[in-house]
Amino acid sequence: MSSENSDDTLAPPPATPTTTVMLVEPDVLARMVIAEYLRGCGYTIVEGVSADDVFAVVDSGRKIDIVFSEVTLIGEVDGFALSKQIRATHPNIDVILTQGVTSAAERAGRLCEDGPLDGPYHPQEVARRINLLRERRRTSKKV
Amino acid sequence: MASAARYSPNGDKNHKTVVLVVEDEVNARTAAAEYLREAGFIVIEAWNGDEAVAIFRSQTHIDVVFSDVRMPGSMDGFTLERWIAEHYPATPVLLTSGVLEIRGNAISDYGRRFMSKPYIFADVEQRIRDLIGY
């Protein structure tokens, strides 16, 4: 947050409440890694798998600042339609749409740059970790 | 609310207990997960039993599971508990449900490994600590 007033003797700016990101991702391994990464960047993360989850949380009165959503979701509403609904009903909520792990990792990295803390690791590591977990799951099914 | 940090078998003094919370209702899951994170646990969230199995199969370390009984997907909490007992017998499972008559008297067999809804978060935390012996 920038200020035109450069007087260093002023009291520090008031603490801002934690930004809450609703992460909507139907792949549990991707969601687990991205959620951990964004929490490490200082965000409060609420996890969901569907548009219904988003509206259940918002309707509960919980303040959501950003919806970070995969395009393909569980349920009848996809990320595009979810984004449209949110913009119509809750224009104060920002929406970030992603498609696939690479896109999600890249957008998470950019979100982290704007976050209150330095990222726990490079955003490229997000995609690598997701792919590693997916590979482990795939090979364990053969056992 | 005490810290959940504990000594790990490999001597890592900073090892924190990892709790897998399995619950399909997003607000219930989020509330439980946030309470347990505040209590010092590392919390992983799953929407249903299938997601929980996927997490185990990815070789992610889990110390204890806190799971709802009635969930969408191919397995309910009882089935998930049996799967974990077969594949990860050292990992305790704490089940919860708001419906007490599920499968007749089955719930009574679970004793301290079952909590009825609605539950008090502090009781969940204590029950988890009891299950992991910390």
CB-based contact A136 B58, cutoff 8 Å: yes
Q: B12: exposed, middle or buried (C-beta count within 10 Å: 0-12, 13-18, 19+)?
A: exposed
CB-based contact A49 B47, cutoff 8 Å: yes
Residue numbers in A near B29 (CB within 8 A): 47
Position A22 confidence tier, pLDDT thresholds 50, 70, 90: very high
Most B CBs within 10 Å: which of A34, A137, A142, as the mutation test of the B interface?
A137
Residue numbers in B near A74 (CB within 8 A): 47
Q: At what angle do helices A123-140 and B49-57 cross, to 10 degrees?
A: 100
Average pLDDT for A37-52? 96
CB-based contact A137 B27, cutoff 8 Å: no
Cα separation values, A53 from A10, A38, A47, A61, B67, Å: 43, 19, 9, 13, 18
Residue A85 pLDDT exceeds 60: yes
Q: Which residues contact B134 (CB under 8 A, 6 or more apart)?
A: B4, B6, B17
Nearest Cβ partner for B26 among A28, A56, A133: A56
Residue numbers in A near B27 (CB within 8 A): 56-57, 60, 62
CB-based contact B55 A29, cutoff 8 Å: yes
ipTM: 0.87
Residue B10 pLDDT exceeds 60: no
For the whole model, what pTM was predicted?
0.88
Higher pLDDT residue, B42 or B112? B42
Residue numbers in A near B35 (CB within 8 A): none
Q: For residue A20, which amino acid is it? A: T
Residue numbers in B near A60 (CB within 8 A): 27
CB-based contact A28 B55, cutoff 8 Å: yes
Average pLDDT for A67-94? 96
**CA nearest neighbour of B52 among A102, A31, A101, A95:** A31
Position A1 confidence tier, pLDDT thresholds 50, 70, 90: very low
How many CB pairs (< 8 A) connect A and B? Answer: 47
**Stretch among A94-103, B79-88, B96-105, B119-128 having the lowest mean pLDDT:** B96-105
Residue in chain A closest to B28 (alpha carbons) equals: A57
Given this model, what pLDDT does residue B108 score?
65
| C-alpha to C-alpha distance for B60 and A50, rounded to whole angstroms | 24
Name the CA dihedral angle for A4, A5, A6, A12, rounded to a multiple of 10 degrees. -120
Position B104 confidence tier, pLDDT thresholds 50, 70, 90: low
Nearest Cβ partner for B45 among A47, A136, A140: A47
Average pLDDT for A91-113? 95
